[in-house]
Structure 1
Amino acid sequence: MDKSRYQKGLKLLEKIDGKAGENVISSLQDICPDLAKFIIEFPFGDIYTRDTLDLRSREVATVAALTALGNCLPQLKVHLNAALNVGCSENEIKEIILQMSVYAGFPAALNGMLAFKEVLIERGHEKCF
């Protein structure tokens, strides 16, 4: 195992996803620790550490993609939190999800917006709606 790649990825996972990322990794330890290692090394150790896009831009793209896919609600919620953690505003995230209604359809946007509502409630932001 490339320790530096793993360590870089773990550090960035903690910075971006915080407890949610830690929970994902922990949930894999008893069934497939290799998948947890791959998640830390590849997306976070190799891709997120590239310097062409900042973390905010990467999370905008990720929220859009996961919303458009429409079948990734647990992962979408992790990345909605991450987007807030790296500086996206609530209104920006709402617009990203709304934009996906044009390209992915209303069901995907509806599911995405309801997932975002859950995230906001979990973060204590109920007053926002």
Structure 2
Amino acid sequence: MAENAALQQMISVAPKLAELSEQILFGDIWQRSPLSPRDRSLATLAALIALGRERQLAWHFRYGLANGLTRQELVEMITHLAFYAGWPAAATALACLPEEES
């Protein structure tokens, strides 16, 4: 699985970054209330799209779907961001969006 390969690469190259990601980012920050994981996925995806961090999008799209977002909601968020983050950012994000909900 690509996520596993990326994680293993991070562990082998930057073990401390992998540890911080697992323990602090996903073990603490993503678990805090009052935002749900679904809300955090939407906010994270909006930031990644606006900042042009396309290499992170595929994984976070799948994570967002697993956290309860629908493909239709993601398409609508991307359409909305076209006006705030720019057309190229929105078009790039659409190209990274999975074809179907998993």
Q: Same fold (TM over 0.5)?
A: yes
Question: Residue 16 of structure 2 is aligned with which of 9, 26, 34?
Answer: 34
**2:43 partner letter:** A
Say what the alpha-carbon RMSD is for the aligned residues.
Answer: 1.8
% identical aligned pairs: 34
1:20-59 paired onto structure 2 within 5 Å? 21-59=3-41
Structure 1 stretches lacking a partner, 5+ long:
1-18
Deviates more, 1:33-42 or 1:105-114: 33-42
Deviation at 1:33? 1.0
Deviation at 1:102? 0.9
Q: Figure out how many residues of one structure are paired with residues of the other and give that number.
A: 101
Q: Aligned pair 1:101/2:82, yes or no?
A: yes
Distance in structure 1 (CA, Å) of the matches to 2:2 and 2:84: 28
Residue in structure 1 matched with residue 61 of structure 2 by the alignment: 80
CA contact (8 A) 1:21 1:78 kept: yes
SS of equivalent residue, structure 1 residue 30: helix
Distance in structure 2 (CA, Å) of the matches to 1:67 and 1:55: 18
Greater than 6 Å deviation, 4+ residue runs: none
- Rg comparison, structure with higher value: 1
Question: Residue 60 of structure 1 is aligned with which of 18, 21, 42?
Answer: 42
What is the TM-score of this pair, normalised by structure 2? 0.89
